[in-house]
Amino acid sequence: MAINRTEIEVRYQETDQMGVVYHANYLVWFEIGRTKYIEQLGFTYKEMEKAGLLLPVIDAHISYKKPARYGEHICIETTLNSYDGIRITYDYTIKNEKDEHLVQGTTKHAFVHRDSFRPTQLRKVNNYWHTMLTKANEEL
Amino acid sequence: MAINRTEIEVRYQETDQMGVVYHANYLVWFEIGRTKYIEQLGFTYKEMEKAGLLLPVIDAHISYKKPARYGEHICIETTLNSYDGIRITYDYTIKNEKDEHLVQGTTKHAFVHRDSFRPTQLRKVNNYWHTMLTKANEEL
Amino acid sequence: MAINRTEIEVRYQETDQMGVVYHANYLVWFEIGRTKYIEQLGFTYKEMEKAGLLLPVIDAHISYKKPARYGEHICIETTLNSYDGIRITYDYTIKNEKDEHLVQGTTKHAFVHRDSFRPTQLRKVNNYWHTMLTKANEEL
Amino acid sequence: MAINRTEIEVRYQETDQMGVVYHANYLVWFEIGRTKYIEQLGFTYKEMEKAGLLLPVIDAHISYKKPARYGEHICIETTLNSYDGIRITYDYTIKNEKDEHLVQGTTKHAFVHRDSFRPTQLRKVNNYWHTMLTKANEEL
């Protein structure tokens, strides 16, 4: 799997008084994208949290080309950029239904223990998940 | 203490493309109001959570008179409506700097255990907090 | 059309540190519900705004039975409660995939001019929309 | 003026089920920071919008060191990074009351016309604002 494509509709709540989508909401959309990417690999964030793992964002970059607007159907394209066992980086492209590139971004995450927020190796918690991500990473 | 008055400034993020504050945000402002009300009584939500208590909203009513706008200085007026040991109800009035009444509302809450979400009596967890709220209720 | 059913998945961003969906987000979900209800009648909020109309909330009531949680598939059920040409009231039921009733609510709206925020009769702006809503109201 | 320091308290609404501030909210805090920076220079975003200007984010970078938590008093430190007449870049440091560096970030903005979203030179709209920002930039 090279890419996950997930479609959403802009929510009225996501707009601001500029008449466009508020800039912080693209981070929410990125999160939807990586959630779906993971699901496509065969597991879920909910299961990871149950297993005592969190996957906080440690770095984010967003480049805004053109604002999304209410009424638009949005496509979130998510790809894995890298995975090394303890860190994972995703790339995102946000497009509208005319296939215009609205926003591009990257988020970097570290696997940490839920209680301590200390880094952990994914394979120590669940080797299947580690294998799936390693495979996806090798296919890049 | 009959009333808590807390001032906030409208955040750009809180507006929507109608050019006014998005209607759900008044619930966020109500929460700021009751947080400050409790602090004025001498304790905090954070301490309550540490003690294993949650205070979820079980009912909310909001009446919108006039929209708040970006750039306005807002006053949140919070009063205790009732407290009976397991439930608490607050009333709120949102005003702008011209003292115009923008929004009025009420939220009802139940004290519950953090893990089970089952109702609990506040005095069993902390008698001081119970006493402070009982006093505030009697002064109404 | 008696009812609109729209499915959504809980977003991580919609949770709070109680581990459940933050209470104000149900108003966002209600908005998704009425947006879809209107679309099922054959028009959209976006078209209404283009025609110079806004439909702000003037009253909202929310009753919280049981919290929605991350990972749940949510069904928003929206029904028209009443429409009289200048005001419109919707009822909502939020359910999870086990068909448990999580939240119930009502929102009341007034049609207003975008620039003045003054009330207006829908049929003066668009008679087709007025007719569709009148029909839906009569079928109740 | 080299720096603006603005204090806020974490809102319950800003947390997520990790028990920390949701990562997108730091962009909201950055916005509060630059709003206050501008006010310290003697004008406001509200006035800029009235003059037909918008200042959308065109690029954002966020580096997360340590999560902010509910109950913390947060300091937003905002500095001007650069201003060239049509673009402006701010740097931010988010600290808690123990002076721990939680988050660092940068946002880049372009002055655009409200209706066209096309770039514009600030001095053509308001020379005083241009002068104030130019001075602030030269003092860096």
Better-predicted residue by pLDDT, D119 or B140: D119
Of the candidates C11, C31, C71, the beta carbon closest to that of A46 is on C71
Q: How far apart are the first and last CA of chain A?
A: 9
How would residue A81 be classed by pLDDT, with cut points 50, 70 and 90? very high
- DSSP 8-state assignment for residue C128: H
User: How far apart (Å, rounded) are the C-alpha atoms in residues A135 and A127?
Assistant: 12
Against chain C, the chains showing at least 3 CB pairs within 8 Å are A, B, D
Residue ranges in chain C modelled with pLDDT below 50: none
Output the pLDDT for position D140. Answer: 81
pLDDT at B9: 97
pLDDT at B1: 62
Q: How many CB atoms lie within 10 A of CB B55?
A: 19
Q: What is the pLDDT of residue C139?
A: 87
Judged by CB atoms closer than 8 Å, whether chains meet at D46 and B11 is answered as no
- Does residue B78 register a pLDDT over 80? yes
According to the model, what pLDDT value does residue A55 have?
A: 96
Task: List the one residue out of A78, A82, A67 whose CA is nearest residue A30.
Answer: A78
Domain ranges of chain A: 4-138
Residue B13: its chain A contacts at CB < 8 A? 16, 22, 24
Task: State the nearest Cα–Cα gap between B13 and chain D, in angstroms.
Answer: 7
- Using an 8 Å CB-CB cutoff, list chain C residues near B117: 67
Q: What is the DSSP letter of D140?
A: -
**Look-up of token digits 């419109």:** C88
- Beta strands, E only, chain A: 4-9, 53-54, 57-64, 73-83, 87-95, 101-110, 112-113
Which pLDDT score is estimated for B89?
98
> What per-residue confidence (pLDDT) applies to C1?
62
The pLDDT, as a whole number, for residue D108 is 98
**Once rounded to an integer, what is the mean pLDDT over residues B67-93?**
97
Best interface-test mutation with B: which of A13, A17, A27 has the largest number of B CBs within 10 A? A17
Task: Tell me how close the Cα of D119 comes to any Cα of chain B, in angstroms.
Answer: 21
Q: Which residue of D has its CA nearest to B31?
A: D12
φ, ψ at A83 (rounded to 5°): -150, 130
Provide the pLDDT for residue A139. 87
Question: Could you tell me if C117 and C124 are in contact, meaning their C-beta atoms sit under 8 angstroms apart?
Answer: no
Q: What would the pLDDT profile of D84-128 be if each residue is shown by its tens digit? A: 999 999 999 999 999 999 999 999 999 999 989 999 999 999 999
pLDDT digits (tens, 9 = 90+) for B8-57: 999 999 999 999 999 999 999 999 999 999 999 999 999 999 999 999 99
pLDDT of residue B140: 81
Residue C24 to residue B24, Cβ atoms within 8 A:
yes
pLDDT higher than 80, residue D1: no
Distance from CA of B70 to the nearest CA of C (A): 16
Residue C49 has a pLDDT of 96
The 3 state secondary structure assigned to chain B is CCCEEEEEECCHHHECCCCCECCCHHHHHHHHHHHHHHHHHCCCHHHHHHCCEECCEEEEEEEECCCCCCCCEEEEEEEEEEECCCEEEEEEEEECCCCCEEEEEEEEEECEECCCCCECCHHHHCHHHHHHHHHHHHCC
Bridge partners of C78, per DSSP, are: C4, C92
For residues A34-51, average pLDDT: 96
Contacts of B27 in chain A (CB under 8 A): none
pLDDT of residue A1: 62
Q: How many Cβ atoms from other residues are within 10 Å of residue D66's Cβ? A: 14
Residue in A17, A24, A70 nearest the CB of B70: A17
Q: Which residue of A has its CA nearest to B20?
A: A17
Tell me whether residues C58 and B60 touch, CB distance under 8 A. no
Closest residue of C to A11, CA-based? C32
Q: Quote the CA–CA distance of D46 and D82 in Å, as a whole number.
A: 22
Active-site entry in C16, C59, C84, C91: C16
pLDDT at A56 over 70: yes
Average pLDDT taken over every residue of chain A = 96
Q: Which residues of chain B make contact with A22, given a CB cutoff of 8 A?
A: 12-13
How far B134 CA sits from the closest chain A CA (Å)?
A: 36
CA angle A98, A103, A108 (to 5 degrees): 140
Q: What is the mean pLDDT of residues A62-91?
A: 97
Fold for domain D4-138?
Thiol Ester Dehydrase; Chain A (3.10.129)
Q: Where are the alpha helices (DSSP H) in A17-126?
A: 25-41, 45-50, 122-125
Residue of D10, D17, D28, D70 to mutate, testing the C interface (most C Cβ within 10 Å of its Cβ): D17
State what percent of residues in chain D have pLDDT above 70: 99
The predicted pLDDT at position C2 comes to: 86
Whole-number percent of chain D with pLDDT over 90: 96
Assigned token pair, D139: 């003092």
Cα–Cα distance, C92 to C135 (Å, whole number): 20
Distances (CA, A) of C24 to B2, C7, D14, D30, D136: 26, 18, 12, 23, 40
Name the closest residue on chain D to residue A66, using Cα atoms: D58
